[in-house]
Every structure is written in structure tokens, then in C-alpha cells.
């Protein structure tokens, strides 16, 4: 298949997978902080994502003392572990070396990649000790160019998410890190996001504005159909939050898919991929019977059938 020239460069290797037009959609299961600080829960989510056919699971890594604003550190919060300050809560759900080493072993055993969105520079250094295929910059961090550059300096591909951002801010972030080894995810940072605010046509807009960069979709809606539509519109990778139960305690749970729906999503995405074809009009062998039975007027013979191929 001949690729449209503007799309020819849109290819990037993430570990053992190639993200490119015509390749299977790279599916990321965002575990994030839906583990609620439990390694056992995190491992169950990894196992479920692998069984569902996802390519990668993603966590979130923070240094609470850096990421929690001073005016919020002592704000009281009700949690499943009792009433505590917001800073204490952030420490309570944050994984350290022991947990991430276990996560790394679990993912290697199951044959699924893993990575993390890093919210501060020490977290980049922490994750860099592991063989992750790429870094992810959360939408909230898109304007933190120093953090983006720190992730870029590791030499790993960088995926940036564009929720809560203007097009000016997106362009500025891309200028800060360059096009090389970059992936851009369209996103709307509302949890859960109503369909009217998904704005999936931004995927085609980003394709046009950044012709050499793989474009994908990070969704926070509860529906499955919209993610399938994102792939039909050209998303080369997708990311959805996953959970054991959307009614569990936690800020991201309600915008997450349980593992059964995650498996259904992957099944639908693979069906969409098969349905898209190559964009070259052709008469399939399965149409030969209906063509001979139903077509009353045959076209004049073409001197060269290749001339009758239209894109």
C-alpha cells in the first residue's frame, strides 16, 4: 500500500511494537493511581490488561513533596484509611522502589510493557532505572517545558497528552522538545468526559498540524464507541483508564473501564482496524457472484485495469 506522503514518516518504535499507519493500534491501559496504593490490586489490573490484549500498562509517578502545592498539603481529606492531610494521602498511594520492581517483574512475566507519567523531575530519574519503552507527560504537565525536556533527555520516546490545553500551548510544547521520537495524544481532561466535549476531529487536526508525528487518543469517557471512532479517524495509539470496579473509591475510578469492558474495547478496536482497509477501491472475489447476477449494464472494458483504481 502506498502511503500518503504526509503520513510516511509517522512511525515510531515503542519497545517491540511499531506505532505507524497500517500497524495495529497500540493500546495503553492506564492504571494510574487506581491501585489505591495496593500492590496486589495493581498486579490484578496488570494481569487483566494483559488478558484483555492491551500492549502496555501505565502508572503515575510523583514526588508528593514537590507535586502537592504548599497551600493544599495540610488540607484534610476523607480516605478509606481514615481522615488525613492531602500530603499524607498522596504519600499513602505513592509506589516506591519495592512496588515498581514487583510491577516490572509482573509485566515481564506476562509479556506486557509498562511505563509511567512522571509529574516531576526526580520521578523521571526514578523511572529511568527501568526499561520502559517511552515516557508519558500528563496533560497537566504540558506547559512544564523543563519536565518535558528532562524526559526527552533520557533518549526514550515521549508521549504528550493535550487535555486542558490550547493549540498555542500544544505548539509551544512541541517546539520545546522537537518532533523526533514524539507522540501526541488528543485528550479532554474531564473525568468522566461527556461525548459532546470529546472533539474527536481534533485527531485529524493534529495530523494536519504535525505531519511527522504519530497521533493518538487518551480518553476519559465511559463509552466504548468513541474510542473506536478515534481509531477510524486516525489514532495510532489509544489510552483508557482501567479499574476493577468503577464504583471504587478514587478520583479516576468513575472514568475507568472495568476489565471485561477493556477486553471488549480491544476486540472492537481490532475489528475497526480490519474494517478500515487500505483506501484502494477494488472488486473483491466475494462480490463476483452478486456482480454477475445483479448488474444489468456492464462497463466498457478498460484498456488497463490499473487505470480504474481510484483512491
Q: How many CB atoms lie under 10 A from the CB of residue 22? A: 13
Residues 6+ apart with CB under 8 A from 175: none
Q: Which cell numbers hold the place of 13?
A: 518504535
Asked if the model's pLDDT at residue 295 lies above 60, the reply is yes
Q: What is the pLDDT of residues 191-219, one digit of tens each?
A: 999 999 999 999 999 999 999 999 999 99
CB contact at 8 A, 161 and 138? yes
Contact in structure between 249 and 39 (CB atoms under 8 Å): no
Mean pLDDT of the residues in the chain: 93
Q: What angle do CA 139, 203, 220 make, to 5 degrees?
A: 45
Q: Is the pLDDT of residue 5 over 50?
A: no
CA–CA separation, 123 vs 118, rounded Å?
A: 6
pLDDT exceeds 80 at position 301 = no
Over residues 124-183, the pLDDT tens digits come to 999 999 999 999 999 999 999 999 999 999 999 999 999 999 999 999 999 999 999 999
pTM of the model: 0.91
> Can you give the pLDDT at residue 310?
52
- Report the share of the chain in percent with pLDDT over 90: 83
Classify domain 12-279 at the CATH superfamily level. Answer: Aldolase class I (3.20.20.70)
Q: Specify whether the backbone of 244 is left (phi greater than 0), alpha (psi in -120 to 50) or beta.
A: alpha
* Least confident among 25-34, 62-71, 246-255, 265-274: 246-255
pLDDT, average across residues 222-247? 97
Query: Which residue ranges make up each domain of the chain?
Result: 12-279
pLDDT grade, residue 307 (50/70/90)? low
**pLDDT interval class at 291 (50, 70, 90):** confident
Classify residue 53 as left (phi > 0), alpha (psi -120 to 50) or beta: left
Amino acid at each position: 500500500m502506498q502511503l500518503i506522503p504526509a503520513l510516511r514518516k509517522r512511525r515510531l518504535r515503542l519497545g517491540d511494537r511499531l506505532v505507524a499507519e497500517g500497524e495495529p493500534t497500540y493500546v495503553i491501559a492506564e492504571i494510574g493511581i487506581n491501585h489505591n496504593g495496593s500492590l496486589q490490586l495493581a498486579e490484578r489490573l496488570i494481569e487483566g490488561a494483559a488478558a484483555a490484549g492491551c500492549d502496555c500498562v501505565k502508572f503515575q509517578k510523583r514526588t508528593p513533596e514537590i507535586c502537592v502545592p504548599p497551600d493544599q498539603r495540610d488540607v484534610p481529606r476523607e480516605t478509606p484509611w481514615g481522615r488525613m492531610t492531602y500530603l499524607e494521602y498522596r504519600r499513602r498511594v505513592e509506589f516506591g522502589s519495592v512496588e515498581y520492581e514487583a510491577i516490572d517483574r509482573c509485566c515481564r512475566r506476562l509479556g506486557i510493557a509498562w511505563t509511567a507519567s512522571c509529574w516531576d523531575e526526580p520521578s523521571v530519574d526514578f523511572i529511568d532505572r527501568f526499561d520502559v519503552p517511552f515516557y508519558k507527560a500528563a496533560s497537566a504537565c504540558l506547559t512544564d517545558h523543563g519536565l518535558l525536556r528532562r524526559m526527552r533527555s533520557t533518549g526514550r520516546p515521549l508521549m504528550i497528552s493535550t487535555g486542558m490545553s490550547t493549540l498555542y500551548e500544544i505548539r509551544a510544547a512541541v517546539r520545546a522538545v522537537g518532533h523526533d521520537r514524539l507522540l501526541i495524544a488528543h485528550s479532554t481532561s474531564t473525568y468522566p468526559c461527556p461525548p459532546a466535549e470529546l472533539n474527536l476531529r481534533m485527531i485529524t487536526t493534529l495530523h494536519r498540524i504535525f505531519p511527522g508525528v504519530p497521533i493518538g487518543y487518551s480518553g476519559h469517557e465511559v463509552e466504548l464507541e468513541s474510542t473506536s471512532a478515534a481509531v477510524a479517524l486516525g489514532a495510532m495509539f489509544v489510552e483508557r483508564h482501567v479499574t476493577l470496579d468503577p464504583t471504587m473509591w478514587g478520583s479516576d475510578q468513575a472514568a475507568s473501564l472495568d476489565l471485561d469492558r477493556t477486553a471488549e474495547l480491544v476486540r472492537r478496536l481490532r475489528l475497526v482496524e480490519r474494517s478500515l482497509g487500505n483506501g484502494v477501491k477494488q472488486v473483491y472475489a466475494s462480490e463476483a457472484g452478486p456482480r454477475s447476477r445483479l448488474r444489468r449494464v456492464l462497463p466498457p472494458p478498460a484498456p488497463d485495469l490499473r487505470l480504474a483504481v481510484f483512491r
